């Protein structure tokens, strides 16, 4: 009997997910989990809601609710819809859990101790109309790479290029629509991804069975231009995992939180801890620690292509850089976008057929 650890990309909390999310991560992961169970293998299939970052804050503000209350309600909604599609998760967790907060802060401490985090004074976009910095999705504009006019401050949905808010052309606030913006200095923590470029390259090259879509995206961000860049992992936001170095305060980082794409992948591991704490199992380490039995586990991830850079570069840097015996992914199955009426599905833009609507139209098995 083989052992299979399976995760689908954890969906944002900012609304009911569309069929693109289902087709590009949750459904194929579920099919794979069911297949391995039917063959008599031991399976742990995990997913969760991704609850931090600007999408959560913006969606909560639009709904007129405190962000913690909004996230709790939407987690229940997404969990119920997953049950409607009979997705066979062993546990459906939350990235806002105490387990994920503690583990994220632990990884940050390990990375800092190993010299892989540096403090950077940088300029970020400040909105006079809103009276605050505009990180990530609080700002939109034209992508400098492909010219897409609705690129976000963290990534262009059209060409998948990772961005910083200061990269955008003709930027504006997604809160107020104001273009009365200026660049101001602030201090943040950066993950020294560039130090891991050679190790990542060797690791990706060793994955001969990965889909071309996965490896081509990974190698693009690893080698294009100036190569793999260091990446900011903190934000000036109220909602998120507070910046700490393990259990200790981080001088100069008071009031800041970790970037959602730093803590979100950690939730894969923390989700297993939640699973144990919920009384569903007695041991999570045998799935995630190679010194506790996970060396014989096959770990497969499912995701849309926009998630590939973070799962092939940033999260592996966190795992490698910790210096601890965590289980690394063995196979990443990525998918192109499912289009709707000639364009992309979009949760934040309300475009497409959504999972609750789909269940009203036809039973799950038809989909």
Tens of pLDDT, residues 324-365: 999 999 999 999 998 888 888 887 777 889 999 999 999 999
CA distances from 352 to 179, 339, 342 (A): 29, 8, 11
Tell whether the model's pLDDT for residue 263 goes beyond 90.
Answer: yes
Q: Do the domain assignments include residue 160? A: no
- Which pLDDT score, from 0 to 100, does residue 15 have? 86
Tens of pLDDT, residues 196-218: 999 999 999 999 999 999 999 99
Tell whether the model's pLDDT for residue 163 goes beyond 90.
Answer: no
- Which pLDDT score, from 0 to 100, does residue 160 have? 81
Find all residues with CB under 8 Å of 79, minimum gap 6, and list them.
92
Q: Do the domain assignments include residue 131? A: no
Q: Do the domain assignments include residue 329? A: yes
User: Strands 3-8 and 42-49: what pairing?
Assistant: parallel
Query: How many structural domains are present in the chain?
Result: 1
Q: CA–CA separation, 47 vs 81, rounded Å?
A: 13
Q: Do the Cβ atoms of 43 and 37 come closer than 8 Å?
A: yes
- CB-side exposure of 339: number of CA atoms within 13 Å? 4
**What is the CATH number for 285?**
3.40.50.620
Tokens of 166: 């200061």
Q: CA–CA separation, 189 vs 265, rounded Å?
A: 18
- Which pLDDT score, from 0 to 100, does residue 24 have? 94
Q: Do the domain assignments include residue 133? A: no
Q: Which residues pair with 191 in a beta bridge?
A: 117, 231
Q: Do the domain assignments include residue 367? A: no
- Of 267, 353, 278, 250, give the one whose Cα is nearest residue 311: 267
Tens of pLDDT, residues 289-320: 999 999 999 999 999 999 999 999 999 999 99
What single string gives the DSSP state of each residue in 63-83?
A: HTS-HHHHHHHHHHHHHHHHH
Q: Do the Cβ atoms of 191 and 111 come closer than 8 Å?
A: yes
Give me the domain span that covers residue 54. Answer: 3-116+192-361
Q: CA–CA separation, 153 vs 164, rounded Å?
A: 5
Q: What are phi and psi of 256, to 5 degrees?
A: -100, 160
Q: Do the domain assignments include residue 357? A: yes
Q: Do the domain assignments include residue 267? A: yes
Q: CA–CA separation, 37 vs 244, rounded Å?
A: 40
- Which pLDDT score, from 0 to 100, does residue 119 have? 97
What whole-number percentage of the chain has pLDDT above 70?
100
C-alpha torsion 151→153→154→155, nearest 10: 10
91-94 β-sheet, strand order: 91-94, 42-49, 3-8, 297-304, 331-335
Tens of pLDDT, residues 83-127: 999 999 999 999 999 999 999 999 999 999 999 999 999 888 899
Q: Do the domain assignments include residue 141? A: no
């Amino acid at each position: 009997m083989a052992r299979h650890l399976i995760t689908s990309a954890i969906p944002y909390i900012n609304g009911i997910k569309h069929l693109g999310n289902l087709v590009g991560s949750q459904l194929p992961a579920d099919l794979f989990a069911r297949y391995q169970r039917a063959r008599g293998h031991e399976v742990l299939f995990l997913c969760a809601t991704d609850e931090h970052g600007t999408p959560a804050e913006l969606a909560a503000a639009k709904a007129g609710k405190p962000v913690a209350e909004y996230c709790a309600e939407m987690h229940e909604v997404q969990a119920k819809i997953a049950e409607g599609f009979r997705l066979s998760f062993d546990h459906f967790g939350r990235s806002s859990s105490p387990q994920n907060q503690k583990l994220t802060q632990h990884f940050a401490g390990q990375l800092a101790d190993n010299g892989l985090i540096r403090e950077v004074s940088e300029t970020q976009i400040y909105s006079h109309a809103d009276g605050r910095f505009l990180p990530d999705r609080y700002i939109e504009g034209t992508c400098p790479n492909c010219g897409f006019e609705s690129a976000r401050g963290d990534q262009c949905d059209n060409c998948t290029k990772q961005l910083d808010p200061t990269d955008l052309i003709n930027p504006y606030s997604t809160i107020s629509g104001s273009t009365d913006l200026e660049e101001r200095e602030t201090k943040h923590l950066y993950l020294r991804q560039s130090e891991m470029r050679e190790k990542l390259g060797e690791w990706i090259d060793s994955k001969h069975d990965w889909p071309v879509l996965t490896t081509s995206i990974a190698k693009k961000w690893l080698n294009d231009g100036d190569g793999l860049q260091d990446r900011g992992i903190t934000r000036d936001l109220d909602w998120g995992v507070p910046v700490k170095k393990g259990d200790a305060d981080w001088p100069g980082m008071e009031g800041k939180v970790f970037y959602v794409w730093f803590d979100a992948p950690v939730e894969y591991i923390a989700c297993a801890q939640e699973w144990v704490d919920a009384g569903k199992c007695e041991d999570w380490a045998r799935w995630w620690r190679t010194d506790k039995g996970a060396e014989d586990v096959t770990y497969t991830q499912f995701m849309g292509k926009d998630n590939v850079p973070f799962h092939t570069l940033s999260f592996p840097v966190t795992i490698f850089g910790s210096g601890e015996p965590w289980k690394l992914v063995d196979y990443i199955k990525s998918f192109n976008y499912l289009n709707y009426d000639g364009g992309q599905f979009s949760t934040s833009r309300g475009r497409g057929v959504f999972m609750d609507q789909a269940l009203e139209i036809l039973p799950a098995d038809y989909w």
